[in-house]
């Protein structure tokens, strides 16, 4: 029996860690017009957002945090319900 794992160390050709930042960038590139968020709240403030729109909003959040002096290795904490803003924090803060 052949061991297919022998000599297959991690290289850029066979391994790429997926971070939240990598995920949102790739999603916006590959599926810019596909739906990323569908949100229906009880007050009829319904929202549908594409991956490109979500990526743009996440970048705006990141830029706003940077302008407030938040930098790499700083801690950002939020307590919020499961809303589009929470999704944007999950990608915009890192």
Residue 7 is assigned to a structural domain of this protein: no
Nearest-angstrom CA–CA distance, 1 and 30: 39
List, for residues 6-52, the tens digit of each pLDDT value. 667 788 777 878 899 999 999 999 999 999 999 988 777 789 999 99
Residue 85 is assigned to a structural domain of this protein: yes
Residue 29 sits in which domain range?
A: 20-92
What is the model's pLDDT at position 33? 98
pLDDT of residue 2 exceeding 80, the answer is no
What is the model's pLDDT at position 4? 60
Residue 33 is assigned to a structural domain of this protein: yes
Nearest-angstrom CA–CA distance, 94 and 88: 10
Q: What is the CA radius of gyration of the chain?
A: 18
List, for residues 50-75, the tens digit of each pLDDT value. 999 999 999 999 999 999 999 999 99
Residue 78 is assigned to a structural domain of this protein: yes
What is the rounded average pLDDT for all residues in the chain? 90
Domains held by the chain: number: 1
């Amino acid at each position: 029996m052949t061991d297919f794992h022998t000599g297959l160390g991690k290289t850029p050709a066979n391994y790429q860690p997926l971070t939240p930042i990598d995920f949102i960038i790739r999603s916006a590139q590959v599926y810019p017009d596909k739906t990323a968020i569908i949100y229906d709240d009880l007050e009829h403030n319904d929202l549908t957002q594409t991956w490109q729109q979500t990526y743009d909003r996440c970048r705006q959040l990141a830029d706003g945090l940077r302008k407030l002096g938040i930098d790499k290795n700083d801690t950002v904490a939020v307590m919020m319900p499961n809303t589009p803003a929470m999704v944007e924090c999950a990608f915009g803060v890192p």
